[in-house]
Structure 1
Amino acid sequence: MKIKALYAGSFDPLTLGHLDIIQRAADIFDEVVIGVVVNLEKKTMFSFEERMEMIKEAVSEIDNVKVDMCDGLLADFVNRNNFNVVVRGLRGMSDFDSEQQMAQLHRYLYKEGIETVFLMADSKYAFISSTMAKQVISLGGDGENLVPPCVLEKMKGRLNK
């Protein structure tokens, strides 16, 4: 049986921590879909289309990874697309508390047999968040160790306007 995994998030922007989780998930599962969440109530630095484009570029060399729009209730998207696994990245215990609650809720909403799998962040990425990357780069800091090159280029272009 092929195992199809979903890694969902807003990815505004995609960080090296996200990319590490994606690569590791791709090494474990047969197919990984990055579900870019559409949240019209959330103010984002990049539009949905821009985020999709940057993520596609960043993962272009990982053969078993696809990028898709994830709208509506996550559980509905999971059930509709026949995922076996939902991947979540954890940076530390504070992430675990909230992610565990969501995983337990989703367990009631998913079709039977769908599991949430937690991957711990590599220690070199555990401090990175999208918010922190935006702050550092907007203040002129070096973002090379925070986001993929294609994202850094777009962020600098956006911030220098």
Structure 2
Amino acid sequence: MKIGVYSGSFDPITLGHQDVIKRAAQMFDKLIVVVCNNSEKKYWFSLEERTEMVKELLKDYDNIEIDNYSGLIVNYLIEKDITFIVRGVRNQEDCALELYFADGNYMISDKKVDTVFIPAMKEYIHTSSTAAREIARYGGKVECYVDEKIAKKVLERGKIYAPK
């Protein structure tokens, strides 16, 4: 069975993330979407809230499993004996950073974890969780960046972070 892992903080999960997930799910017998905590980031939503949003949006996929993890994602793959990590890339900056991480993950895993890159579709090149949060802070049309099923949650959370 060919298994892939797609990880992210998903704060919140965007339409771009969903597109990469949909496309990756076609490549693998099973895709595990891992909601991660990054110690360098300050989150709007808790790990549990982010995991629930991801589960809500991906519930109709038969070959997708949702998990969460705190730590190096390569360690997750090593622990689970999975060899493929999926990464989406939107632009040259993403590509350079993801190439750096891919090489590091490959070396850390003793050359057992390889990276599959999925380029963003043109309509999602500017889509990011950061942009979605900024739009939500000002009560904007967040549905351009996140699924309508979670747009209300994102807008409500945006009110907490809105400028005073």
- TM-score normalized by the length of structure 1: 0.93
User: Greater relative contact order (Cα 8 A, min sep 6): structure 1 or 2?
Assistant: 1
Flag the 1:112–1:127 CA change in 2: closer, same or farther, 3 A. Answer: same
Residues 52-79 of structure 1: CA deviation (Å, up to 9, x unaligned) = 0000001011111111012222221111
Structure having the higher helix fraction is: 2
Range with greater deviation from structure 2 (145-154 or 92-101):
145-154
**Which residue of the partner structure matches residue 60 of structure 1?**
59
Distance 2:143 2:110 in 1: 40
Alignment of 1:15-34 (within 5 A): 15-34=14-33
1:11-44 CA distances to partner (integer Å, 9 max, x unpaired)? Answer: 1010000000000000111111111112345210
Quick check: 1:97 aligned with 2:84? no
Tell me the TM-score normalised to structure 2 length: 0.92
| Preserved CA contact (<8 Å) 2:138 2:158 | no
Structure 1 match to 2:128 = 129
- Answer with 25-34 or 145-154: which moved more: 145-154
Please show how residues 108-119 of structure 1 align to structure 2 within 5 Å.
Answer: 108-119=107-118
Over 3 Å counting, the alpha-carbon distance change for 1:39 and 1:114 in structure 2 is: closer
- Structure 1 residue runs of 5 or longer lacking an equivalent are none
% identical equivalent positions: 36
Counterpart position of 1:82: 81
Please list every run of at least 4 consecutive aligned residues from structure 1 whose deviation after the TM superposition is greater than 4 angstroms: none
Aligned residues: 160
- 113-122 or 47-56, larger mean C-alpha shift: 113-122
Q: Does 1:71 align with 2:35?
A: no
Structure 2: unaligned runs, 5 residues or longer: none
